[in-house]
Amino acid sequence: MGVDLTGIIGHSLSKEEILALPEQIDQWEEVHHFFKSYNGDSYSQAEWDGYMDEEQLELIWRYFETSDSDHALTSKLKNFDSVIDCTFGTLAVYRKTILITHWNHKYSNLRNPDTAKSILTLNRLIARRFNQEEIIYCADSGYPTQSIEHTALFGADFAEIKTHAFSQFGTPPVEIEEARKYMFFIDRTDTELEEMTLWEGESPYWRYDSEAGDYELINNPYTKE
């Protein structure tokens, strides 16, 4: 249990290109080398988490994108997730986005500066493989920012997800040192990743509302009047 960290990037791949991803991921030498440099785990081949073909991809995407339950659709599903298992974690491939999740996937990993830098650096390497310059990060459970991830599952493209995130949660801090405490932020892959300090205590931007049973955003100094 606990709050998980999800990284979201865009893509414009065809179904044929998506199905070929596991073999390509195995050739991402800079990604595997960096992951091994701080994790030390042995290499394992990337593979789909269950049977996958073009029809299954479309069925899975439609399953998330369609609000009404369609028995005819679900009866054809052999898998409910379009997920690739990799050495470093998983890539969940949706119609217009890819969700990156590490094996050390808890949001609390961003509290430790060394662990945070390793996760963010690895995700930058992955994003560059898809020619993406931005990564949206969000807490995927326990916080309302989970709706950002849901928007990706529902078939939105990267620009639409950003619009949703900004409209719902305002503008996050730019510097990673502070942005990680916002539970949603955007990292650019073409900038230098600055040094971070140990994050202690609660987030200064969120407060738990015991009556509502949820967190509420209480401070966004970056929202323009």
Report the C-alpha gap between 148 and 171 in whole angstroms. Answer: 14
Report the C-alpha gap between 161 and 150 in whole angstroms. Answer: 9
What's the rounded mean pLDDT across residues 192-196? 93
pLDDT in tens, 57-105: 999 999 889 866 665 677 888 888 999 999 999 999 999 999 999 988 8
What's the rounded mean pLDDT across residues 139-165? 94
Domain locations in the chain? 5-190
Residues in the chain: 225
Report the C-alpha gap between 107 and 125 in whole angstroms. Answer: 19
pLDDT reading at 221 higher than 90: no
Report the C-alpha gap between 47 and 169 in whole angstroms. Answer: 35
pLDDT for residue 150:
94
**Binning pLDDT at 50, 70 and 90, where does residue 224 land?**
very low
pLDDT for residue 225:
42
Mean pLDDT of all residues in the chain? Answer: 91
Phi first, then psi, for residue 207 (nearest 5°) are: -135, 140
Specify the higher pLDDT residue, 222 or 118. 118
Q: For the residues of 58-120, what is the DSSP string, one character each? A: HHHHHHHH-SS--HHHHTT-S-S--EEE-SSEEEEE-SSEEEEEESS-BGGGGGSHHHHHHHH
What's the rounded mean pLDDT across residues 115-122? 95
